[in-house]
Structure 1
Amino acid sequence: MDQTMPKTCIKLRPGQTYAGKQGFSYFEGIARETTGSQSICMHLLTVPPGGRAKAHKHATHETAIYVISGSAIMYWGEKLEHCMETNAGDLIYIPADVPHLPLNPGNEPAQAVIARTDPHEQESVVLLPHLDSLVP
């Protein structure tokens, strides 16, 4: 796709998925690769029961999450020392460069809309394998 700002509005319907570095499958959404966006991406994520991401951060990019359904837990901080429970209806903000690791310990899928200031979505993902074992 052209690397300049689109000159028209674009509508997508989630269908195809892609495997993220974080360990989850994401529904393809708004990104530079799909729409030519310059400063934002937005996609849908379903975390299956028992699903767990790899510890990671998004270098220089902020993340906003809206939990549509279900619940999950997110560990965050330099040593994943903080724990945040999330439920349907919650809005979550993750500052740039903050390590985090979400997981779904429940019996139902958790679904969320995720937006990030990285138009490529996966480009800023930095895996932090040395933190994975800090979360039970």
Structure 2
Amino acid sequence: MTQTFTPTWTPPPFPGTSLLGLDASTLLELGDAVDQGFQSAALEGLARHLGMTLGQMLALLGVSESTYHSRRRSGRPLSADDSAALYHLARVTEAAEQYFTDPAEAHRWLSAPRVTFGNRTPLQFALLPGGAEYVTAVLGRLEHGVYV
């Protein structure tokens, strides 16, 4: 008799993906979504979530408004690099919201320059190579009472 295994547990969404409206529960699914490029709605939604204007979000990402609006009008997704950067912002936003529990407090923390991050904001630092990992590590240390 052959038995088939039917999983009863659904993996949670990959960290940060729910803020972007993505349905990715594995790193491979996330990688595929980044390679294909996120839709402009993901960028606009995260900007709204953080209380930023579209212009502020584009400046943070280093994307010109004309390039963004041209892509949006033609229905083309963000580039893979811009999508990856946006994912890093979503991941640190989710981590900060989990630590602070009050989203407004988390957003203030993410938007204020910190000595720990070389007088950059955590959002700016998250866009550096390895920056998102470091920001989430700092939040983990804070959670365990290790002040940096």
TM-score higher than 0.5 here? no
Q: Which has the higher strand share?
A: 1
Give the structure, 1 or 2, with the largest relative contact order (CA under 8 Å, sep 6 or more).
1
Greater Rg over alpha carbons, structure: 2
Which structure carries more helix by proportion? Answer: 2
